[in-house]
Amino acid sequence: MPKAAPTASSPLSAANAAYEDSPQYAGGRFRNTHPRPANSPKPNTKTLLKFFFNKPPNSEPASPLPIQPLSRAELEVAPEHSLYRLGHSTMLMKLRGGWWMTDPVFAERASPFSFAGPKRFHAPPIALKDLPPLRGVILSHDHYDHLDHAAIRALIPRTGMFLCPLGVGDRLAAWGVSAEKIIQHDWWQASEVDGLRLTATPAQHFSGRGLRDGNRTLWSSWVIEDLQNTQALRMFFSGDGGYFDGFAEIGRRFGPFQLTLMETGAYDEHWPYVHMHPAQSLQAHKDLGGHWLLPIHNGTFNLAMHAWWDPFEQILNLGQQHGIAIATPMMGERLDLDAPHAGTPWWRACTDVAAHSTTPSAAGEATRLDSRPQR
């Protein structure tokens, strides 16, 4: 059964004692299904110095990104099964008459500091204050680019429930979310709300917001199903993670999916265990039995050394090679979940992308990287 959140006064370390019956929990920390292989690449000191102090200039846009502003009035008349990408992994969806949001991040920086850390490439298409009341928020894990303290605080009075992996609810409780609104899940646990079924599913990643709280909270992907609609809808939200055999198992249990919201960004040869390269994102989509793939975790924050537009170009190239339908809506653009559309390559309007008629890495990475799990 889903776990109730502890009271707001419960410290994270004490609250974790309640999770000892989870197969993912051992020795006071959560863990992946498959341990990181001993020979798996890891960032060394040189890589970290480059990441923090000397990223390539093209890892950030040279000109403002085009976005489609979104208003409360538009949302009030939006049809059922509307989806809007607001940035990074933040999606706004109308399901069973209510609004749901994944990983709401509206902060200027994905960082514990207001003056340092990855800065947004673009403003959200709609301000927090203009959002309609939310039936629920779906959280994948507690990293700063997925869990925004200020956004959660602002959403408390306007959100019916917060669904999250084990331990993340402890953070929410400490931030002022009432225990009645928090539903924590282990992998494979589900909640049914208004005819929707929302299931926390495995992911291969890690968690933590400081130097000493690594893996004290669980991470997950999510299966979102509207099975009572005339046209049944199944979506997959990847959250963050490396490629592993869990995608095939999720596909066996829940697939096929009309749409996968698939991590495609922040990859690097030094951390394949926790972030997929585009070829692996495409393979994960196939493993799930996905039809349309919408690449997320890109286009908002500078979290790796690749060109900021490279995820879009690579996944489009791969989709064409493999006959996979790719949707790339502009931030703020409506996507019809019952009849998705491809969208336009809006990122090419930026001056630095326009200066590159081709992106050599796109074809090179697609053929060079395999899609084997990091095991």
Host H or E run for residue 136: strand 136-138
Q: Is the pLDDT of residue 357 over 80?
A: no
User: Quick one: CA dihedral 351, 356, 357, 358, positive or negative?
Assistant: negative
CATH value of 45-368 in 3.40.630.10, 3.60.15.10, 3.40.50.620, 3.40.50.670: 3.60.15.10
The identity of residue 17, as a single letter, is A
At 40 the pLDDT is 80
What is the share, in percent, of the chain residues with pLDDT greater than 90? 78
Number of residues that make up the chain: 375
The mean of the pLDDT values for the chain is 90
Q: Is the pLDDT of residue 92 over 90?
A: yes
Comparing 44-48, 68-72, 354-358, which segment has the lowest mean pLDDT?
354-358
Question: pLDDT tens for residues 141-180?
Answer: 999 999 999 999 999 999 999 999 999 999 999 999 999 9
CA proximity to 204, closest of 46, 37, 9: 37
On the CB side of 341, CA atoms within 13 Å amount to: 11
What is the share, in percent, of the chain residues with pLDDT greater than 70? 89
SS3 283: helix
Q: Is the pLDDT of residue 367 over 60?
A: no
How far is the C-alpha of 121 from the C-alpha of 106, rounded, in Å? Answer: 12
Confidence of residue 48 (pLDDT cuts 50, 70, 90): low
| Cβ within 8 Å of residue 215, ≥6 positions away | 29, 30, 31, 206, 207, 208
> 341 versus 46: which is more confidently predicted?
341
Mean pLDDT of 272-295: 97
Comparing 1-15, 124-138, 273-287, 332-346, which segment has the lowest mean pLDDT?
1-15
At 43 the pLDDT is 72
Mean pLDDT of 199-209: 97
Q: Is the pLDDT of residue 3 over 80?
A: no
How far is the C-alpha of 329 from the C-alpha of 341, rounded, in Å? Answer: 8
The pTM of the whole model exceeds 0.85? yes
- DSSP string computed for 93-107: EEETTEEEEES----
Q: Is the pLDDT of residue 10 over 50?
A: no
At 355 the pLDDT is 75
How far is the C-alpha of 35 from the C-alpha of 37, rounded, in Å? Answer: 6
Q: Is the pLDDT of residue 198 over 50?
A: yes
How far is the C-alpha of 83 from the C-alpha of 92, rounded, in Å? Answer: 6
At 228 the pLDDT is 81
Mean pLDDT of 212-233: 92
Tracing tokens 């309007």 back to the chain, one arrives at: 349
- DSSP string computed for 166-223: TTHHHHHHHTT--GGGEEEE-TT-EEEETTEEEEEE-------SSSS-TTSS---EEE
Domain boundaries, the chain: 45-368
Q: Is the pLDDT of residue 368 over 50?
A: no
Q: Is the pLDDT of residue 317 over 60?
A: yes
What are the distances in angstroms from CA 258 to CA 30, 126, 252, 326? 31, 26, 15, 12
Mean pLDDT of 106-126: 94
CA proximity to 357, closest of 366, 348, 365: 348
